[in-house]
Amino acid sequence: MEKVVELLLSSTYGIAFTGAGISTASGIPDFRGPNGLWKKYSPEIASIDYLKRDPKGFWEFYSQRMRGLFEARPNEAHYALAKLEKMGIIKYIITQNIDGLHQKAGSQNVIELHGTMQRSYCSSCFKQYDSREVLKMIDEGNLPPKCSCGGIIRPDVVLFGEPVKDFGLAVRIAYEADLVLVIGSSLTVYPANLIPQIVKEERGGSLIIVNADETPLDHEADVIIREPIEVALPRIVNEIEEELRKN
């Protein structure tokens, strides 16, 4: 942990890159782990093709997932990362998550590559909706939920078969960074997984990986932490605060 603290404190533009693993302690299953979502469901159910082919079936799945995300609360890892941002050590959080827990924990500079479940919009006229309003429509028997124009409403998330959001901005930030703290990501989802690679391989920055399982970038990491994320991140923050009190 001493090496992690040293790298974070010596960086001038650190960023965090987070995946589903940071939210498992909040009761949200990851995708590819032993109890991952894709062990129970086919990834096809989260594709743009499936939404177009069977909007009712799509929303039967997504409405339940949406409710689960809305009930979830940030865990200690989310709060620790928000502290690192407040301290000025982490400048941006680039996340693959759609749960909004970084913002709920107090993080300000969050780039959501895969969108957010908090919002929905009409696939025809693009009118925006609060997703809780959409769930109310479903509860009232409107499945799939439809806009006043007659178009199908969909969550504002990136489905399989669609491009990620704000990727250009994320790439520009990665080229500014001299350190990337990867948290809870398998680093197997393209093109999001390019962000840590840019920091390490193109910028020559430091790479810290906090993840339960091996990743394709482990061989390039400066430090790898395998302990639970909700334990590791608060400990990192505590040790940084201790180090700053000494100086």
Active site (catalytic) residues? 114
**Rg of the chain in Å (alpha carbons):** 19
Whole-number Cα distances in Å, 118 to 60, 111, 130, 155: 17, 14, 6, 8
Rounded CA-CA distance 208/199 in Å is: 11
Rounded CA-CA distance 58/68 in Å is: 16
Rounded CA-CA distance 119/129 in Å is: 6
Rounded CA-CA distance 246/38 in Å is: 47
Amino acid at 93: I
Q: Which residues contact 102 (CB under 8 A, 6 or more apart)?
A: 18, 74, 78, 81, 82, 93, 95, 110
Q: Are strands 223-225 and 153-157 parallel, antiparallel or unpaired?
A: unpaired
Collapse the DSSP code of 97 into the 3-class scheme (helix H, G, I; strand E, B; otherwise coil) and give the result: coil
